[in-house]
Amino acid sequence: MSPLYTAFLLLMAMASATPLWPGFYSETCSDAELIVREVMKKAMIREPRSVASVMRFQFHDCFVNGCDASLLLDDTPTMLGEKLALSNINSLRSFDVVDEVKEELEKVCPGTVSCADIIIMAARDAVALSGGPDWEVKLGRKDSLTASQEDSDNIMPSPRANASLLIDLFASFDLSIKDLVALSGSHSIGQGRCFSIMFRLYNQSGTGKPDPTIESSFREKLDNLCPVGGNENVTGDLDSTPIVFDNIYFKDLVAGRGFLNSDQTLYTFPETRDYVELFSKDQQAFFDAFVEGMIKMGDLQSGRPGEIRTNCRVVNTHHRPVDVLLET
Ligand code: HEM
């Protein structure tokens, strides 16, 4: 691609990006943020893990064609959405919490608050409600008119990923090594499936042996949780305090007690190791870097046209190809 064309594409993307700002709904839906937080609180009481599951949506939405709630669209006969993509199938959960937020918002200010903004507010609330930092989010995003399973498959990293692959992936979104390490700290809350770690327990990189960086008593614990031939949908905690957002995740990595390969690799690789060490010793440094990373990730936009969906799972009726067909 010629540099001129690249510059043109960049200009186009910048020209069509929607401006985002903190007070976006102050006139049109002044209670929007309160409503989101209340629903998240209730969800947390019902099931503590659900807020972690909702927080994960921000990553899986924003990396695939920007933060546009494409992730939330159900498949249709003409569109394979992202819910069944490799990293999401049998894994993403708690979509019902977003549905509940949307229903509450539609009662008070119909057709006003985008599902893309709900994801951003809810992710922030998940962290704050779990004892992590609280911050101001920029709002004003539009919801996509489509979703792409293929794009998600091509972009989202596998739990087998190593730090060098992750550094490159994050760099392609203008996210630094510091952002990568801090954002991985989101694994301070939530759980993962045995499915995501079987290879590292029994056949790391095709060696027929476990990942040598796993501390031995922790490996025994994981072997018991995830035996060969066992149910791979069984889940384990991503760190030793899975409902508290804190820097214990990083202390665990230093001790060789990371759950995912993509977590432990951040300590193994020299490029990322210093940040793991810093965050393991200084929780405030982790919180500050995490907030900065979440805001940067929340700024990702595709520049494509959008709408305010009334139901986060489906595109508004007047855009659906089947209706266009029926009308003609
Ligand atoms: C750096 C690359 C990352 C990789 C490779 C990765 C991979 C994974 C995997 C494999 C799981 C467990 C899924 C399962 O076994 O079903 C998981 C869970 C989770 N991820 Fe990540 N992740 C990454 C970054 C992030 C980021 C940036 C965030 C949010 C800012 C995030 C938030 C979460 C949360 C909260 C969970 C737990 C969800 C739950 O309990 O339902 N992850 N991640």
How close is the Cα of 237 to the center of ligand 1, in Å?
11
Residue type at 219 in one-letter notation: R
Q: What is the pLDDT along the chain (328 residues), one digit of tens a residue?
A: 444 444 444 444 544 678 999 999 999 999 999 999 999 999 999 999 999 999 999 999 999 999 999 999 999 999 999 999 999 999 999 999 999 999 999 999 999 999 999 999 999 999 999 999 999 999 999 999 999 999 999 999 999 999 999 999 999 999 999 999 999 999 999 999 999 999 999 999 999 999 999 999 999 999 999 999 999 999 999 999 999 999 999 999 999 999 999 999 999 999 999 999 999 999 999 999 999 999 999 999 999 999 999 999 999 987 655 544 554 4
Residue 157: DSSP 8-state: P
Q: Return the residue whose CA atom lies nearest to atom 22 of ligand 1.
A: 184
What pTM was estimated for this model as a whole?
0.94
| Known binding-site residue numbers for Ca(2+) | 61, 64, 66, 68, 70, 82, 239, 241, 246
Distance between CA atoms of residues 20 and 5, nearest Å? 27
Residue type at 241 in one-letter notation: T
Q: Convert 60-72 to b/e letters by CB count within 10 Å (16 or more is b).
A: bbbbbbbbbbbbb
Q: Convert 98-118 to b/e letters by CB count within 10 Å (16 or more is b).
A: bbebbebbeeeeeeebbbbbb
Residue type at 179 in one-letter notation: D
**Which of 37, 49, 56, 60 is labelled catalytic?**
60
| 319's tokens | 């855009």
Q: Return the residue whose CA atom lies nearest to atom 8 of ligand 1.
A: 159
Mutating to test ligand 1, I would choose from 187, 194, 264, 269 the residue with most ligand atoms within 8 A of its C-beta, which is: 187
Residue type at 272 in one-letter notation: T
Residue type at 156 in one-letter notation: M
Residue 46 neighbours by CB under 8 Å, 6+ apart: none
Does residue 93 have its Cβ closer than 6 Å to ligand 1?
yes
318 is catalytic: no
Does residue 235 have its Cβ closer than 6 Å to ligand 1?
no
Q: Report all structural domains of the chain as residue ranges with CATH numbers, in order of start.
A: 31-155+299-307 (1.10.520.10), 163-297 (1.10.420.10)
